[in-house]
Copies of this chain bind each other. A is one copy, B any other.
Amino acid sequence: MANVLEVKPDLAQAQCAEVGASKFCPGCGHGTILKTLAQVIDELNLNERAVFGCDIGCSLLSWNYMNIDTVQTHHGRTTPVIYGVTRANPGTVGIAYMGDGGGLAIGSQHLVNASVRGENMLILLANNTNYGMTGGQMSPTTMPGQVTETTPYGRDCSITGKPAKGAEMIAAIADPEKSYVARSTMGNVRGLKKVLKAALENVANGGFSFVEVLSVCPNNWRTNNIKTLERLKEMEEFFEVKEFITPAKKEEV
Within 8 A of B (CB), among A81-129: 104-109, 112-113, 116-119
Q: Which of A107, A119, A164 has the most CB of B within 10 A?
A: A164
Q: What's the minimum C-beta distance from A253 to chain B, rounded to whole angstroms?
A: 15
Q: For the complex, would chain A's binding face be called helix, strand, loop or mixed by DSSP majority? A: helix
Per assembly, the copies of the chain total: 2
0/1 string, A138-174, CB within 8 A of B gives 1: 0010000000000000000000111011001101110
Q: Is A236 an interface residue (CB 8 A)?
A: no
For chain A, the count of residues having a C-beta within 8 Å of the partner chain is 24
Within 8 A of B (CB), among A15-47: none
A173 to B112, CA, bound (A): 12
Q: Is A175 an interface residue (CB 8 A)?
A: yes
User: Which chain B residue lies CB-closest to A160?
Assistant: B117
Does the CB pair B173–A172 fall under 8 Å?
A: yes
User: Which chain B residue lies CB-closest to A169?
Assistant: B173
Does the CB pair B161–A165 fall under 8 Å?
A: no
Q: What's the minimum C-beta distance from A211 to chain B, rounded to whole angstroms?
A: 18
Q: Which of A105, A107, A173 has the most CB of B within 10 A?
A: A173
A108 to B107, CA, bound (A): 10
Q: A105-B109, A109-B109, A112-B112 are in contact. Are A117 and B173 (CB under 8 A)?
A: no
